[in-house]
Amino acid sequence: MKKILSIIGARPQFIKAAAVSREIGRRKGLTEVIIHTGQHFDHNMSQVFFEQMQIPEPVYNLGIHSLPHGAMTGRMLERAEEVMLKEDPDWVMVYGDTNSTLAGALAAKKIGLPVAHVEAGLRSFNMTMPEEINRILTDRIADLLFCPTQTALDNLEREGFDHFDKRVLLTGDVMYDAYLHFSDLRKAPTGLKLPDKFGLVTLHRAENTDQPETLKQIVEALNEIAEELPLVLPIHPRTFKVINHSKLPAMSNKILVIEPMSYLEVLYLLEKCFLVLTDSGGLQKEAYFAERPCITLRTETEWTELAEAGYNQVAGTRKEAIIKAFRGFVRKKPEFTSGLYGIGNAAKMIADAFLQPEL
């Protein structure tokens, strides 16, 4: 019996774990212990995902959150190491590109445990983003790398990973697995009256929320867009705090600001919306799964294939560029084709990989 120690801590990781943990639970030769670092701790950002998506309850909850990057990563590393020494797993599995990802990978390698990285090979090529640093360092020290797309696999080959003593697999994207599994269970938010036609907005990345001029440009763009298309904004706790304590322009009353939504509620909003505006990596893909055009409120994206196919307009954070991207999608919505992220069996491939004799 092989023991997998899985480390999660943020909303996108909960969604990915829902797919992978379900497959691990079906394998007679595998058992899983989950650590929740506590990076996302609000009920609507954390516990509701475990309840709705049948994710096994974490055996350990480290409760580490609301700290600067260095302090958060350091404390996670220290606490995760304690758990690893106690549990002595065969593999440590980490997801994505958060501080929880890097801390888990570092803790494991420091004590000689092999690391598996789900969502390996992604690159935004923007080294000012903490996520880019996390994913590059995690890839470099991981032993088993699960790539969601051919682009991710190509990135690793360009960086010389074919010369490293690692195993790299093209699996497809586990978020697509989750979307297919849960899309029929989508749930309307309780007590929420939606406009007949609306855009779905999310905004949470520090490079947007922590820069007053950047946030001002985005809010002004959203206000102008809302005059033509009402917007629904499930607001991240940090974004809510920043907006309430800043001198930003007031948000239009045509922007419906609501609390964070569960995954099943987000799926419902995706089904009903006209388009998506976001700085989230995960929601860019979910918009594609739901065949909704997406405007990315960043200057780059890890999901370059979406931009190249015209499903995603990487607008940046300037008011004029955001509005231009919006007008483009109003004039012509893209025609969607499937297949960019696999066929919905990524989690199965990941679970099967742990049972290979050479591992």
Flag whether pLDDT at 5 surpasses 70. Answer: yes
The pLDDT-based confidence of 45 (bands split at 50, 70, 90) is: low
pLDDT at 82: 98
pTM of the model: 0.92
Flag whether pLDDT at 43 surpasses 60. Answer: no
How large is the average pLDDT for residues 223-249?
86
pLDDT at 51: 79
pLDDT at 287: 98
pLDDT at 359: 61
Tell me if residue 40 is catalytic: no
How large is the average pLDDT for residues 110-135?
96
214: left (phi over 0), alpha (psi -120 to 50) or beta: alpha
Flag whether pLDDT at 281 surpasses 70. Answer: yes
* Closest C-alpha among 20, 40, 41 to residue 32: 20
* Closest C-alpha among 202, 181, 176, 190 to residue 55: 181
Higher pLDDT, 26 or 209: 26
Q: What is the DSSP string of 197-217?
A: S-EEEE---HHHHT-HHHHHH
Least confident interval from 38-47, 97-106, 152-161, 215-224:
38-47
The pLDDT-based confidence of 41 (bands split at 50, 70, 90) is: low
Residue 61, exposed/middle/buried by CB under 10 A (0-12, 13-18, 19+)?
middle
- Average pLDDT over the chain, rounded to whole? 93
Choice among 36, 65, 117, 204 that is catalytic = 204
pLDDT at 212: 86
| Structural domains of the chain ordered from first start | 2-173+342-353 (3.40.50.2000), 185-331 (3.40.50.2000)
What is the distance between the alpha carbons of residues 147 and 24, in angstroms, rounded to a whole number?
Answer: 18
What is the distance between the alpha carbons of residues 253 and 344, in angstroms, rounded to a whole number?
Answer: 40
